Amino acid sequence: MNTILVEGISVYAYHGCLEEEGRIGCNYLVDVTMETDFSEAAKSDDLNQTIDYVTVYNIVRAQMTIRSKLIEHAGQRIVDELKATLKGLQKLSVKVTKLNPPMNGNVEKVSIVIEWKM
């Protein structure tokens, strides 16, 4: 088994329980870790034998544009869409990080991680 990481996908989105979060938005980072067998791609140099990083990026961007109250919900949508779209996926981890969340305190970021295994 091999691992592909697409890390630090930076998006500006409008998730959150507070009404102003839906208007103002904030910065998010999404990290995707995928286990698959890309040994044929490594031999053949053929993109069709592995997972296309651009597809992963586009799925994350599209799902993050859909407003959710919870980053848990946004993360689950990303997982579901990646599972439905990517061939050969054996294991998946999606981390969604909200930077500078509006809290009554100095908090740099909050994150959730959703893992799936075939």
User: Do 71 and 11 meet the contact criterion of CB atoms below 8 Å apart?
Assistant: no
Secondary structure string (H, E, C) spanning 62-116: HHHCCCCCCHHHHHHHHHHHHHHHCCCCCEEEEEEEEECCCCCCCCCEEEEEEEE
Of the candidates 87, 95, 98, 109, the residue annotated as catalytic is 98
Query: Is 95 among the residues known to form the active site?
Result: no
Strand order in the sheet with 109-117: 2-13, 26-36, 91-99, 109-117
Active-site residue set: 98
